[in-house]
Structure 1
Amino acid sequence: FTACGGNFIVFLVYTQMMKDVPWYHLFRTGNVIGLMIMPLSFFYFRSILKPKVFKAFDLVHFIPALLYTIDYLPVFLLPGPEKIAMATREMQMPDRGQSLQNGWITPSINWVIVRTLLMTTYWVLQIRMLYCTSRIRQFNVLLKENRAIIRWFVITCVLQAFYFLPFYLNFFIGASPYNFIIIHTSISAGVFVQIVLLFFSPEILYGLRGLIISYPDSSRHIKRENAADIGEERTSTSLTGNAAKDQTPGQDFLASKDITSNNDIHQETSHIPKLLEYLSEEKIKEIALKIDEVLVEDHAYLQKGYSMRDLSIATGYQPYLLSAVIHQEHKQHFNDFINFQRVRHACILIKSGAGKLLTLQALAEESGFNNRNSFTTAFKKHMGQTPDT
């Protein structure tokens, strides 16, 4: 959408409609889009190829667009007649005024150069992301299940190269009356090809069929521990025979620890180097069914202090796999998911009439909570009201 918006601005400039009503209000706004298009593309790549969510800190990527808006704020606020006169003058120039720096920040900033360097940087980051993805565990399964979207990413990067390569050619070859047309025609052609690809492969819009997750690189952690604690005797649980063959990466480390809660697992593994792994769609369904079997059918959540380790032992899957699948399938973290099941159980007791015969403390204990306070807090969070209302 941003690329299409940028091309529309270029169309207004090329046809000189920019100086007409009401389009003159968009005068000099093209670079706002130009400075945002590749950061937005980068976050699109990252949202699909990396298990990382958008955070407030990520807004720093849009500082260049904000600075440009501030720089050209006096131009944006010009009265209509003055803006039309400025647009008319610049439309007559071979480069349509791109070489002019009429912002108010001193010294003047050449935003065309800034935009070109910014696009190049994010393009390189996308290429690096694709390369790292190609090296994750189970990449062959990922490629088999998601060939269309991987092909889409590769073609998109190739086409996006035309967003900035013509500007480098323009810089080395020199100015030409046709450069403006050549540069933006190549960009428009790339956008058109992307639209065609989306039309014939709509599954691209749904993202990956499976899930890319991170897991602790226990081998590197163990080497570091051995190097730091020479001479210290260690004991660990080892797997033999078929069990050793089926061991999941990170299992040797987690199996050797006395982990009793989800928070303990996070504390033990947060400092360990992370690797990436692909969970196929079939594997996600398999793990999700096992989780439902243990928690929903067997009502394991009614056990007080039920932890991720307990679920891991019951299902046979590592905690990081269970956490990823729970978040993927239920959009909740482990503790919230367990409490939600407990609250649902309490609601069933209340509706059946059995809950009316119990005190709030007794109802909390029957539902797997340690005390009435944690029960009331969880009930209000998930149901929007307290259990005694």
Structure 2
Amino acid sequence: MKILVLLNFAAALQGIFLTYLIAHNKPKDTKPIVLGLLTLVLSISLLGGIYGMTGYYKTFPHLINVMDPLFLLYGPLLYVYIFVLTKNKLPRFYLFHAIPFFIYIISFIPLYVKSGEEKIQFAEYIFLNNEVPLEALIMQLGRVFYITIYVVISLVLVKDHQKKIKNNFSDIEKISLSQAKKILYFFLFVLLVALISFMLGYKFSYSFSVSNNIIGFFVGIIIYALAYSTWRTKNIQLLDTMDSKGYPDDNTSVSKGKGRSVFILNDDQIKKYSKLLTTVIEKDKAYIENDISLAELSSKINIQPYQLSELISRVYGESFFDFINRHRIEEIKSRLDDPKSDSYSLLGIAMDCGFNSKSSFNTAFKKFTGLTPSEYRKQKMVSPTI
């Protein structure tokens, strides 16, 4: 019990220190401001759990349930943070997500005006009672489901972001939120554990206080891991591109269809643009440019980015990211066929063909050849006809 209190206290202090660092830097960007609010809310709520476990609620009874409503800000702040990361702006009507938080506070005003003794009785009945009342179970399950909804929505935003950056950029390592996605999946796992824990606590009659603090500690780790994984993520502006069905995204200014924007290249345009694209790719080798984007490539053939995106999708059946990296891998394979390449490192060849890092090169090479770069080179050395 003491170890858990110390761990939560350390996590709370770390969160408060992180919030201080963010505030001290006087951020002008929305992302660190939202992150600071998220870590501050988390840290204060962790202190609330410590307050209950250590028995200080008896010494300072008027703080009972004061920090408890902060749980209802976990989900909204997490969602807003992910939204800012993926969209570079705040969601519309973002303040409306705080309505349940204020409703919760208003509903507990009768408790807040009670005497200290009455507040202690309430805390011991709801959170510290081994004979867990049904209303306590409903309260805890409600929180779990409420946060889960926001985590799922945040995951959808991250997955959508991953698809869009692949349609806009050839190098996504510094703008990918793959680590954030893994952390959000772990968040769902923790919420599932919380759900099971609360149901078992009701059935077998043990206090929710310990469960709350254990779950709070893991949630703290998740938030700090999320902050660490996304702190240096670049802010990017995604261009309007075609979706998987051949339509532009919602903000593209083209002819209107039934309730949405519509643009479909005709056969003549496909043939014309395909020739231009082939020239830029095969003759000019535009893919060798390390950070080439959809916008830059489209300007080389004098068409709109969403037209190029549709062209690549319909003709090649792949994203811009895969289209560029596939050509880079083919170029690397071609160079490896030349015996003169034996004196060059694989990474050196990869960098010369457009890749920016060893990890992105290895991942792409494995995807398009089924082999690691070193395995492929060894096969070429053993059997040059391969």
TM-score, normalized by length of structure 2? 0.49
Structure number with larger C-alpha Rg:
1
Looking at both structures, which has the greater relative contact order when contacts are Cα pairs under 8 Å and sequence separation is at least 6? 2
TM-score, normalized by length of structure 1? 0.49
